Structure 1
Amino acid sequence: MPENDHIARQAELVASELFSEFFWEKVGPTNHDWPCEDQQRHEVKTHPCDVVYYYDEPYSPLRTYVHCDLKSYAKGTIQQAAVKAAAESLAKQIACADRSDDWRRLHVHEHVTYSVCGLLFVYNHDGEYEANFQSNLLGIDPEKLQLPKGARLFVLGPKEIFWLDNIRSEVQRMRGKRVPDLPPPEYCSYFHPQLIRRANLQAEKAKAATLETLTSPIIILEHRDPRGGANRG
């Protein structure tokens, strides 16, 4: 495998291990291109797709599909221009995914109400990046991103990925102890607070940590007793 392919593969592996622990699921093919729906405006014939994950929303009867652009950068290549270009490209991908029959056929389940959002995942593969990643986002004008109305684009930088990976590692450690602190995954779910005037519509179905949860300062994993008791943790 060429070195560049190996480096790119690192982000894919990290994302796969990370998001599976937060109960995201992959859907459809990975690492493929699909036709652009607005070639004149986007100035490309196709868009790339690294991977699409999905989860069910807790507060609405929606399934969210997360169209990901996975970047694996060394310390010296995490630059404002590269991050801006990636975000602008991802915004175009989301705009086309929202209207593409090809993308829908490959990645969307039948008979579901859904939304599509974008995730720019910037992994630092050499572990040496210590600068303020947020400064790379200052040159991005949200008003100029070609996103559909109401669409969302999230960015996870090296610090956020490192923090989330620590959570993943700790959950697995607690579950793997001789006397486990956590039961198996099927008895666990991520906590979504009951909001005023907003019912938790899919409390049993929506087990995954949403993007809003993953980008919040606190992530709570709750679990029920595998023996069928009333105790919850």
Structure 2
Amino acid sequence: MGGETSAIQRVAGKISDDIFSVFKWDRAARADMNWDCCQEAHSKKTHPSDVVFFYIDPYEEEMVYLNTDLKSYAEGTIGKKIVEGALTSLALATECANVSEEWRLKYVHDDSLGYNVRGLLFLYNHDNLYDKDFYENITKKLDHSSINCPPNIKLHLLDPYKISDLI
């Protein structure tokens, strides 16, 4: 939860719950937990799961789990490096979550349909002052090679502008 206080983190969690309940997504009971990394190449002891949302993908007919990293920053701290760092960490966690027995036991509601874990970076601006074009200022400038996301891993990003549109 680097960069966020627990009170601000709770606000981001509440807002994410409010947004995703509209989509009829469920939320795993466990939240704000670390679990063991199971891939030596990651050079990490653990990975975080702030919150995990899940829903049945009507096209794939499998359960989709969104291993969500809740970030809440003031306007002046939202930048390319922060986003790249968060996406890099999320890519590693998502790659590991797809094969981790510990993650499966903690978060998978029902594996009879099959499931896929995706990463979701929820980037909330708690002072509501971020008014820049997020795509032009950050997304377009991201160094995708530094994020090092495997091709079979899907990451999603909800930026401050999209979040403010949804709330």
TM-score, length-scaled by structure 2: 0.90
3-state SS of paired residue (1:120): strand
Deviation track 1:149-168 (CA, whole Å, cap 9, x = no partner) reads 42210111111011122xxx
Q: Could you say which residue in structure 1 is the equivalent of 2:69?
A: 69
- Cα separation, 1, equivalents of 2:97 and 2:43: 16
- Cα separation, 1, equivalents of 2:29 and 2:36: 16
Aligned length: 162
Q: Closer, same or farther in 2 for the Cα pair 1:46/1:139, shift >3 Å?
A: farther
3-state SS of paired residue (1:71): strand
> Could you tell me which amino acid in structure 1 is paired with residue 165 of structure 2?
W
| Structure 2: tracts of 5 or more residues without a match | none
- Cα separation, 2, equivalents of 1:70 and 1:55: 18
Could you tell me how far 1:139 is from its partner in structure 2? 4.3
Q: Could you say which residue in structure 1 is the equivalent of 2:166?
A: 164
Would you say the 8 A contact 2:88–2:147 is kept in 1?
yes
Would you say the 8 A contact 1:30–1:49 is kept in 2?
yes
- Cα separation, 2, equivalents of 1:104 and 1:114: 10
1:95 aligns with 2:120: no
Please identify the structure whose Cα radius of gyration is greater: 1
| Structure 1: tracts of 5 or more residues without a match | 166-233
Would you say the 8 A contact 2:25–2:55 is kept in 1?
yes
Q: Could you say which residue in structure 1 is the equivalent of 2:83?
A: 83
> Could you tell me which amino acid in structure 1 is paired with residue 33 of structure 2?
H
- Cα separation, 2, equivalents of 1:143 and 1:98: 21
| RMSD, aligned CA | 1.6
Could you tell me how far 1:63 is from its partner in structure 2? 1.1
Deviation track 1:49-99 (CA, whole Å, cap 9, x = no partner) reads 101111111212111111100101111111111111000000000010011
Q: Could you say which residue in structure 2 is the equivalent of 1:154?
A: 156
Q: Could you say which residue in structure 1 is the equivalent of 2:16?
A: 15
> Could you tell me which amino acid in structure 1 is paired with residue 126 of structure 2?
H
Would you say the 8 A contact 1:124–1:158 is kept in 2?
yes
> Could you tell me which amino acid in structure 2 is paired with residue 93 of structure 1?
A
Answer 1 or 2: which has greater strand percent: 2
- Cα separation, 2, equivalents of 1:47 and 1:163: 30
Would you say the 8 A contact 1:95–1:146 is kept in 2?
no
Identical positions, percent: 38
Q: Could you say which residue in structure 2 is the equivalent of 1:31?
A: 32
Deviation track 1:123-178 (CA, whole Å, cap 9, x = no partner) reads 0111111012122224434355443442210111111011122xxxxxxxxxxxxx
Would you say the 8 A contact 1:94–1:147 is kept in 2?
no
Would you say the 8 A contact 1:84–1:139 is kept in 2?
no
